[in-house]
Structure formats: C-alpha cells, structure tokens
Structure 1
Amino acid sequence: MSSDEITPKPPRRARARGAGAASTATTDGLDVEETWRQTCRALVAPLERALTLPALRAAEARLAEVAARQGLAIVEEPLFGLKGDPGEDPPHRWAYEAVLPIRGAARPEGDVTVARVEGGMYLAATAPRGLDDLANLYGHLLGSLLPGRKQRLVRPYILHRTQRTADGQERAPTEAVAVTVYVPAVLSMEPVPMPADDAET
C-alpha cells in the first residue's frame, strides 16, 4: 500500500465514488438529501474570508494545475470547505479553503497542502441564491433541521460545491450561483429533553 492510500471504514451501503444519494426529503420548502461520501485525500488551499466566486474559481484552477503537475488523478469536481461550526462560531472565526479530491502521491506545494476529507453520512441542501445565502442555510440546517431529525454535527467541517449551468458553462461573476452544502451528521445518542408537563407526570 502506498503512503497516500486510505483505508476507510466499510460503507453501510454500496455507493459510487464521491457522493451518492441515499434519500431525499423536503423540509420547510428546502430539499434535503441524505448522502454518503467516501473518505478521500484532497489538495487544499486557503481562501479569503470574504468569499467570492472569482476567488474560488481561481483557487480551483490553481489546485488543478498542481494536480496536473504532480500527475494526480482528480476523482470528483472541486469543493470548498468551512473549517468551523457556524452554529457555535461567530462569522469572523470562519475559515474557508478550496478542496480538490485526488488520488495519487500528492505532496504539499507552496500554500497548497494535502488533507484527508472524512467520509460518512452527510445532509445536503442547496442555497439557490449562492454564496450570499450560505449563512441563512447554515442557520436552517444547524438550528432547525439537525435537531428536528435528532441528528447532530459530528465534525466542525462543512463541504460545499458550486453548481454549473445545465450546459456546463460558467455564469458571470456577478450572477448568483447555487451552492450545495454538505453537513456531516449522525443520529444523536443524547436523550431528547422531555416537555415540562411530561416530566412532572
């Protein structure tokens, strides 16, 4: 086994490379999909806190250049990650990074590093108004959806993917680009608090 190979825990069900849908539900008008992701390695590069589409695309292109230079296989479309828990951390502590899942003997290069992106169960939902709508979507997912489904955030690292147009073309930088957000979640093992009336009986 080469040094860059990973041995993730066996999946609960068969799935394709990258993200695979398990089920979809609609909550408060928001389509939420349960999906499984495989553990993978990725090239990552820091992003400015004031996240913009041009800066994100530039970082994605830079990671693709590093992957080509190092002879790496790109195993899925680029992502970007939020290091932190938006339900607990104030916005000034949020840190974003561009993420390019790869396979091969990757090595750091400049400010590009190599990281492990954990797999497992994720809840996926889309912010149709793009990057400016992410804070609202975080609030819904972490403040309403996860507690309502008796689930919890298992890692303070949230993945995202910007959507292309139907023909694969880029939108203008000033246009809103829908962003799918992937929140790592599992069923909570903590007991659910009982209503006061029930607790007294």
Structure 2
Amino acid sequence: MCDFFVKNWTEILKLFVSIWVAIVATSALKTWKRQMTAQKQTEFIDDLSDSIHRYIDLMSGPTTLVKLIKIQIMAYSKDPTLDPNNENAGIIEFIDKQGENQSNTLLKELKPCIQPVTKIRSLAAKGQIFGFENYEDCQAACKILGWQYDQINTLGYIIKKNSMNWDHPEVQSLLKKVNAIKFEEIEERLTNSNLQFLTFAKKNYTKIYK
C-alpha cells in the first residue's frame, strides 16, 4: 500500500510540475509577445518621428521661397499699368517675367523633401496595424504635413507655365488658388501638425512603458 501512495504522489507531483511549467511557459510567451509588440511600436514611433522632424527641417527652404514669391506677386499686382478688373493680373505678370526661373529654384529646393514625405505617408498607412491609442490624430497630422508639400509642389509647376490661356475660366480658377496660398499658413500647419504628432507619441510612449 505504501508503494501505491508513493507512486500516486509521484504521478500527482509530475502533473503539478507539468501544469506549473505550462503556466510559466504561457506567461513567458505572453511577456515575450508584449515586449515584441512594445519594441515594434516604439520603433515605429521613432521612425515616424525622425521622418517628420527631417521633413519639417527641409521644408524651411521651400516655405521661405513661397514667401518671397508671394511678395513678388503682390508687388506686380500693384502695377498701375495692369488691368484693374483682372484680380489675377499680378500673378500672370509674375509668371510671364519670372515664373520659370522661380519655379526651377522652388522645385529644386523642394526635391529633398520627396523622400521624407513619401516615408511619412507610407508609415502613416502602415501604423494602423499596431493598435495605437488615438491613432487618427497621428494620421491627420501626417495628412496635413503631406498636403503642405503638395501645395508648394503645385505652385512650383503652375508658375512655370507661362503659355497657358489666361482667359480660360479653369486657368483663372487655378490662379485664384495660387493667390490664396499663404506661407504663414503653411508654417502654422507644419508647426501644429508636428505638435499634434508629438502629443500622440507622448501618450503612446507612456502607455507602452507604464
């Protein structure tokens, strides 16, 4: 009988050991998965943060050129010899006289921004898989950052085309949009979008490492 109890206790002990090992292994696996997820989330935020900061730094040159172009357009608009009934007369005159040269300079200055803005857009789409808190704020910030590039890039190509039919309604509408571009608003959007992203990053860093 003694051997029977010893044998049974041995089996029970083995069972408990097996269960304990399974629990420890499951816990270790969950911990490892959390650590891997945290690492991937951190790497994503770091990568996006680096791209945004690089992009904003590079955009300072194109933004300054937009300011100078707008000042020149304004100066042409005050020319008393231009048609006072054409609200786009100033920009048309600017395009005819300086458009191509200014366009080449602007697009050359904007070219280094292509790589970071492309990466920002790619990461913003990819980031949806990580389950971040308030990720829509990050996406909105990235979208506005990309829009500023698009605006300046469009401006660069429009002022280069001095052979357009200025009287065509669609061309006139396009020129109105160019006139509506304000460098102050571009700078403001870049700053505010960066702050919005940093707020998102801080909240999620805190959640990852709490």
Bin for the TM-score computed over the shorter chain:
under 0.3
More helix, by proportion: 2
- Structure 1 or 2, whichever has the larger Rg, is 2
